[in-house]
Amino acid sequence: MNTYYLNAMKVTLLGILGIHLSMHVLYLAPANPATYQYSEMVDTYMNSFFSQNWHLFAPEPATSSLQLAYRCNNLQNWKLPIDGLLSEHKSWPITAKGKKTYVLQNLAREIYNAKLLQKEDAQIPELPLLKKFLHDQCGRYALSEVQIKRTFTTNYSQRFTAPKGSDEVYEFRMQQDGMVWN
């Protein structure tokens, strides 16, 4: 009698797992007749808990790249910290240089998006992180300039090597607690 309930529980759990995996496959699969037929049921199941907009095959990959540049005291050339960190990470991938590139890239993206939304500086929580990075690079009381450039490309495979398209640039200066946007 005990093995009967154990086997029934196994079959039930395997059935639930099978339904769950089938829902995931139908939700993430490209458009086909099965996804259309069961779309309402699958969307109700998936969006109740997993409401992120993920798909297995991205129809339109990202067509822009962000570049963060800075210089100290208006005397130096522009430095591209992400490029340097990426080359160091590629030569020795065990280090944390790759994570630093993610942090700087996300920092640049968040500040860029905040300026697109015309947020005030006090409403941008990423600015103190950028300020700390610049203090580490330039010194605490040095004047530093930052450039965040977004390049919109037409060819996805060449978005980092030979970008062609329009550029949008935000430049600003930082000194101690002050900040001036251009």
Domain of 174, in residue numbers: 64-181
Residue 125 in domain: yes
In this structure, the number of other CB atoms found within 10 A of the CB of residue 69 comes to: 19
- 77: tokens are 């050339």
| pLDDT, tens digit only, all 182 positions of the chain | 689 999 999 999 999 999 999 998 988 888 888 888 888 898 888 877 655 555 555 555 566 778 888 888 777 788 888 888 888 888 888 888 888 888 888 888 888 888 878 777 778 888 888 888 888 888 777 788 888 888 776 665 555 555 556 677 778 776 655 555 54
Q: How many domains does one find in the chain?
A: 2
- Residue 94 and residue 23 share a domain: no
Lookup result for tokens 């965040």:
148
- Residue 68 and residue 45 share a domain: no
The pLDDT of residue 22 is: 92
* CA distance linking residue 17 with residue 38, whole number of Å: 18
Residue 15 in domain: yes
Residue 22 in domain: yes
- Residue 137 and residue 166 share a domain: yes
Residue 25 in domain: yes
- Residue 105 and residue 160 share a domain: yes
Inter-CA distances, 104 with 24, 33, 46, Å = 33, 43, 33
Residue 58 in domain: no
The pLDDT of residue 155 is: 61
The pLDDT of residue 51 is: 58
Residue 59 in domain: no
